[in-house]
Amino acid sequence: MEHLRYPNETAEYRAARNALLDDEIALRAHIEAVAAKRRALPLGGEVPEDYVFERIGKNAAPEKVRMSELFGPHDTLILYSFMYGPERELPCPGCTHLLDGLDGAARHIGQRAALYIIAKSSIARLTAWAHERGWDHLPLVSTAGNSYDADYFGDTSKFPKGLRAQHRVPDGENWDETIFNVFKKNGGAIRHFWGSEMSFAPTEPNQHHRAGDQVDPLWGLLDMTPEGRGDFFPKVNYD
């Protein structure tokens, strides 16, 4: 292809940029190949129960809602486990910045699949936080004490022994975790389809797990810069 030329760039820059472009094109192809493999996964296990969550209803009062009802008109449901349990004074800053970016996308996601943000705090607390944060489009639900996060690794309580050691989870302690899980309606049953298990894979030195990077605009923007990500990690608030 005929490449672009920016004002006053050197031949050395253009040669290096063209080589990088080849790598970027190859990466694009690989990302799509991985996405195709994901779409081709066989359906996972049937959900063990129709979990009962809590959300704010149309009359602005809390109401119980079953997992099967969260699908709405869709056959696909995306659930994101948000690290904001009742023991936390503030939610996880990594989760929070991700949801800051997803709030605008949520109105579009709803055209193709159902999306809900799951956390262990009460629905009143979650709704108050969403209002403070300016999240106008993200639907939040409370686990309301059900076992969803335990069963689908939104917390550490069912981590196998090796994973507990890798994540330095002390015996007798547990905490909430971040993970996307995707579910599919199939013949009247709800089946698990995919989870962002890279959240729990061993990381490379000086990297976080990067399991949600493809839906996270912050990291994508920083990766475009000369400084890159560095050791930056977002905060809930910047004073």
Residue-level pLDDT at 72: 95
Q: At what angle do helices 93-109 and 123-133 cross, to 10 degrees?
A: 80
Residue-level pLDDT at 151: 97
Query: Residue 140 pLDDT > 80, yes or no?
Result: yes
Q: How confident is residue 158, by pLDDT bands cut at 50, 70 and 90?
A: very high
Please tell me the least confidently modeled range out of 123-132, 148-157, 215-224: 215-224
Q: Between 183 and 188, whose confidence is greater?
A: 183
Query: Residue 195 pLDDT > 90, yes or no?
Result: yes
Q: How confident is residue 159, by pLDDT bands cut at 50, 70 and 90?
A: very high
Residue-level pLDDT at 1: 58
The 10 Å CB-count burial string (b at 16+, else e) for 131-156 is: eeeebeebbbbbbbebebbebbbbbb
| Mean predicted confidence (pLDDT) in 6-33 | 95
The 10 Å CB-count burial string (b at 16+, else e) for 76-98 is: ebbbbbbbbbeeeeebbebbbbb
Q: How confident is residue 202, by pLDDT bands cut at 50, 70 and 90?
A: confident
Q: What mean pLDDT, rounded, does the chain reach?
A: 93
Give pLDDT tens digits for 81-122: 999 999 999 999 999 999 999 999 999 999 999 999 999 999
Residues with Cβ < 8 Å from 198, sequence gap 6 or more?
209, 210, 211
Residue-level pLDDT at 214: 86
Confidence (pTM): 0.93
Query: For the CA atoms of 152, 156, 161, 162, what is the dihedral angle to 10 degrees?
Result: 90
| Mean predicted confidence (pLDDT) in 174-185 | 95
Residue-level pLDDT at 32: 96
Q: How confident is residue 205, by pLDDT bands cut at 50, 70 and 90?
A: confident
Q: How confident is residue 177, by pLDDT bands cut at 50, 70 and 90?
A: very high
Q: How confident is residue 204, by pLDDT bands cut at 50, 70 and 90?
A: confident
Residue-level pLDDT at 58: 83
